[in-house]
Amino acid sequence: APSFYPRDNSTCRRTKVAILGGGVAGITAAHALSNQSVTDFLIVEYNGDIGGRMAHTTFGSGPDGNPYTVELGANWVQGLGTESGPENPVWTFAKQYNISNTYSDYDSILTYNETGAVNFTNLIDKFEDVWTEFEQNAGTIITENLQDPSFRAGLWQAGWKPKKSMAAQAVEWWEWDWETSYSPEESSFVFGITGYNLTFYQFSDENNFVVDQRGFNYWLKGVTSTFLKPNDTRLLLNTIVTNVEYSSTGVKVTTEDGGCIEADYAICTFSLGVLQNDAVAFEPEFPAWKDTSISTFQMGTYTKIFLQFNETFWDQDTQFFLYADPTTRGYYPVWQSLSTEGFLPGSNIIFATVVGRESYRIEKQSDEETKAELIAVLANMFPDVSIPEPTAIMYPRWSNVPWSYGSYSNWPVGTTLENHQNLRANVERLYFAGEHTSTEYYGFLHGAWFEGREAGERIAGMIVGTGGGDGYENGTCYNEAGCGEHLRYEGLHGTTEAWEYNSLNGMRISPFFVADAGED
């Protein structure tokens, strides 16, 4: 008998599929199972609510004395879609559940340095010209199976060399680090380009910012209510997984409250940060191919720091304020006004964003220390204003959140599709899904959505289609790339071959097709 059999059978709950995590991927996995009439599943969630990194909290106070709702994690629907083309599923649901949102107008921007307002928006145009050139270079790397260089090298070869200009570095941060939470030096060139294209060319280049006072996760609750009853006993909230024992016949999950679940299959949707920080014990230890992928991919940190004042002393009609610090790249570079029409007008709330090393630095500081730095930056940006004392300050410390350990994943330099496929691949009966397993849309809500669906369908295909010789057959497998086990690579090649860009490796859409569409 497999070693995971519980010492005391009577204490374990039995289910067909244990879904570990109730974020977007976990919920869509459960939805996919339900759609194939597999209703014997349990969702185990650390927090008291579903949504995971689509998480909100209350902040400051409004005219009625009640606080505002602000998003700590995901805030935008990114790449909405067009009438004729495919639509981002998150956008489809955002519309269905009337999620309040506003189009992010990236032309609504003012630029600053330590002397105050200075117009360097021409550098934004210049960067965008370079982008057109280097995406062609990325195409060549793919077709010719060449080595994946850093995003920095890609920029450099296309003529973008910002070293001597803090303004150019601020623009680069706005265009790159702000999205990926890593620097160009740390990021993959090829998968940076494909990731960008598959969201912003396949769907559209529009990003809509959510200000719904019910919270962004309201749509996910709506979706959940279509297949779970209120207080459904299949959703275990406030339940922390501590151990996962897996084998070729099943999975046993132990929770901090002493409970356990025995399942035929499990889908682990914990973030890459959770996997990297040994927050959950997996037994047996993962094989080398799995560990290599977990340690290779990066978990970034993205921090929004919210400030409320008694007045709005910045331009009320502008959405974005970009600051080039004289000495430190990425030092409180982007500021967003929530006091602007379409957001939370009259709220007097503005927030700054930092990522990566700056996030780690301020996570170790007190709110007071960070507040002093923010006020000094605002004093640089607005030399004619005597910056008032904020009435509220708040920021999350994502890299220490025990159910996330970071914000979202990124692809490092010199990666291959094979290495990433190993991040997606199941180990025996334990399957994986989440934003980090998405080849096409890593880092995004919709990445988690597609991967959760695929994991649910792969398993449903096995459960529903037991009549077939392979354990599943046509008609019962909904997943385009097949059901059952994932492809995996026990020996990794140095580069990715052009034909490997296929759905078996999580690339359902051709990166070439998208690059062509983008050129039109």
Stretch 431-490 residues interacting with ligand FAD (CB under 6 A): 434-435, 443-445, 447-448
Q: Which phi and psi angles does 446 have, rounded to 5°?
A: -70, -25
Q: Is 223 annotated as a binding residue?
A: no
The 292-321 contact track toward ligand FAD, x by CB under 6 A, reads: ----------x-------------------
Strands 41-44 and 320-324: unpaired
Enumerate residues 6+ apart whose C-beta is below 8 A from 253: 18, 20, 44, 241, 243, 244, 245, 260, 261, 262, 263, 266
**Of the candidates 229, 199, 217, 252, the residue with the CA atom closest to the CA atom of residue 48:** 217
User: What one-character DSSP code corresponds to residue 147?
Assistant: -
Which of 93, 306, 331, 398 touches ligand FAD by CB under 6 A? 398
Q: Point out which span in 18-26, 59-67, 122-130, 329-337 binds ligand FAD (CB under 6 A).
A: 18-26
Give the C-alpha separation, 395 to 72, whole Å. 8
- Measured in residues, the chain has a length of 520
Q: Is 130 a binder of ligand FAD (CB under 6 A)? A: no
Q: Is 54 a binder of ligand FAD (CB under 6 A)? A: yes
Q: Are 358 and 330 in contact (CB under 8 A)?
A: yes
Q: Is 79 a binder of ligand FAD (CB under 6 A)? A: no
Which of 269, 348, 380, 505 touches ligand FAD by CB under 6 A? 269
CB of 492 to ligand FAD, least distance (A): 24
Which of 15, 113, 187, 271 touches ligand FAD by CB under 6 A? 271
Exposed (0-12), middle (13-18) or buried (19+): which is 471, by Cβ within 10 Å?
middle
H-run or E-run covering 450: helix 445-464
> How many residues belong to the site for ligand FAD (CB under 6 A)?
39
| Omega before residue 89 within 30° of 0, cis | no
Q: Which phi and psi angles does 110 have, rounded to 5°?
A: -125, 145
Which of 187, 404, 416, 496 touches ligand FAD by CB under 6 A? 404
Q: Point out which span in 69-77, 132-140, 152-160, 472-480 binds ligand FAD (CB under 6 A).
A: 69-77
Q: Is 381 a binder of ligand FAD (CB under 6 A)? A: no
Q: How many CB atoms lie within 10 A of CB 393?
A: 18
Which of 17, 24, 33, 190 touches ligand FAD by CB under 6 A? 24
Q: Which phi and psi angles does 234 have, rounded to 5°?
A: -85, -5
CB of 252 to ligand FAD, least distance (A): 14
Per DSSP (E only), the strands in 56-166 are 56-59, 68-71, 76-78, 101-103, 109-113, 116-117
Strands 101-103 and 241-246: unpaired
Q: Is 21 a binder of ligand FAD (CB under 6 A)? A: yes
Give ∠ CA 186-187-189 in degrees, rounded to 5.
Answer: 135
**Of the candidates 24, 109, 102, 146, the residue with the CA atom closest to the CA atom of residue 498:** 146
Stretch 339-358 residues interacting with ligand FAD (CB under 6 A): none
Which of 247, 336, 370, 407 touches ligand FAD by CB under 6 A? 407
In terms of CB distance, is 35 or 165 closer to ligand FAD?
Answer: 35
Which of 112, 408, 431, 432 touches ligand FAD by CB under 6 A? 408
In terms of CB distance, is 45 or 206 closer to ligand FAD?
Answer: 45
Q: Point out which span in 10-18, 61-69, 110-118, 270-278 binds ligand FAD (CB under 6 A).
A: 270-278
The residue with tokens 């919709």 is: 446
Q: Are 101 and 77 in contact (CB under 8 A)?
A: yes
In terms of CB distance, is 142 or 279 closer to ligand FAD?
Answer: 279
Which of 18, 19, 32, 44 touches ligand FAD by CB under 6 A? 44
Stretch 96-125 residues interacting with ligand FAD (CB under 6 A): none
Q: Point out which span in 52-60, 224-232, 331-339, 415-423 binds ligand FAD (CB under 6 A).
A: 52-60
Which of 31, 53, 424, 458 touches ligand FAD by CB under 6 A? 53
Q: Is 183 a binder of ligand FAD (CB under 6 A)? A: no
* Residues contributing to the site for ligand FAD (CB under 6 A): 21-26, 44-47, 52-54, 73-76, 78, 240-241, 269-271, 274, 279-280, 302, 398, 403-404, 407-408, 434-435, 443-445, 447-448
Would you list which residues are annotated within the binding site for FAD? 241
